[in-house]
Amino acid sequence: MYDPLALRKRFIQLAKIEGKRVLDVGTGRGYNAILLANEYKCKVTSIDNRERKLVDARAEAQRMGVTPELVTFSQGDILVGLNFPDHFFDVVVALNMLHHVQVEGRERCVMEMARLAKERVVIGELNQEGASFFDTVAHPGENHLKLLVPRDWMRETFVCIGKCTVIEDERINVYSWDVF
Ligand SMILES: C[S@@+](CC[C@H](N)C(=O)[O-])C[C@H]1O[C@@H](n2cnc3c(N)ncnc32)[C@H](O)[C@@H]1O
């Protein structure tokens, strides 16, 4: 059975972000931000580069009774850079966002996340298993396999950010850097 909520909760547990001030990059419809605020006592700033997603996210947050002070949704493009000072957030998270960025822009996105994080950057990306599952069961007809972010590239490219831990879960790999 496909249970996105279970996947989100697993990602949040692995990210260990309870009670933190969090930046959620590529928030989409805001499901992670809402969970983080409602169940994990986080204060969340959520950004997405598509305003349409943010309209849906705000409506979903209202429907889910999120305390407005705990989550803000704003338009922003992590590839271009965000207008926050260095290390403004405890933790910066991005779940299944990076594969939406063209290969040549991915490094810049992760480096911008690292600039904004005081403690940790945590990125969840579909692994081979997850991408195959999405392409055949969850979203048939899409091509996540083609967009996969390679695990070794993630580990090797960002050694300058901090110590990297990789947790290979059933369908996602979670990369967590304790920033220097
Ligand atoms: C597959 S959705 C994931 C949404 C959410 N993180 C989740 O787990 O449900 C990817 C999101 O990343 C956003 N995105 C893609 N490129 C982005 C960028 N350069 N800056 C900010 N958001 C971006 C997309 O608009 C989309 O809403």
Mean pLDDT, to the nearest integer, of 117-144? 92
pLDDT band at 25 (very low <50, low <70, confident <90, very high): very high
pLDDT on residue 1: 63
Percent of the chain with pLDDT over 90: 88
Q: Is the CB of 53 under 6 A from ligand 1?
A: yes
Mean pLDDT, to the nearest integer, of 24-48? 97
CA–CA distance, 98 with 28 (Å, rounded to integer) = 12
pLDDT band at 88 (very low <50, low <70, confident <90, very high): very high
pLDDT band at 14 (very low <50, low <70, confident <90, very high): confident
Q: Which of 8-22, 40-54, 89-103 has the lowest mean pLDDT?
A: 8-22
Atom of ligand 1 at shortest range from CA of 109:
19
pLDDT on residue 52: 97
Mean pLDDT, to the nearest integer, of 87-108? 97
pLDDT band at 138 (very low <50, low <70, confident <90, very high): confident
Q: Is the CB of 32 under 6 A from ligand 1?
A: yes
Domains defined along the chain, listed by start = 4-179 (3.40.50.150)
Residue pointed to by tokens 């407005």: 68
Torsion angle of the four alpha carbons 87, 93, 126, 112, in this order, in degrees rounded to the nearest 10: -30
Q: Kindly state the DSSP code that residue 4 receives in the 8-state scheme.
A: H
pTM, whole model, 2 decimals?
0.96
pLDDT on residue 3: 77
Paired with 162 in beta bridges are 179
Mean pLDDT, to the nearest integer, of 122-131? 94
Tell me which residue has its CA closest to atom 25 in ligand 1. Answer: 50
User: Between residues 121 and 2, which one has the greater pLDDT?
Assistant: 121
Q: Is the CB of 128 under 6 A from ligand 1?
A: no
* Of the candidates 88, 111, 116, 97, the residue with the CA atom closest to the CA atom of residue 50: 97
Mean pLDDT, to the nearest integer, of 112-131? 96
Centre of ligand 1 to C-alpha 128, Å, is 19
Q: If DSSP states are collapsed to H, E and C, what string results for 52-106?
A: HHHHHHHHHHHHCCCCHHHEEEEECCCCCCCCCCCCCEEEEEEECCHHHCCHHHH
Mean pLDDT, to the nearest integer, of 59-86? 97
Q: Is the CB of 31 under 6 A from ligand 1?
A: yes
State the amino acid at position 22 in one-letter form.
V
Q: Is the CB of 95 under 6 A from ligand 1?
A: yes
Centre of ligand 1 to C-alpha 127, Å, is 17
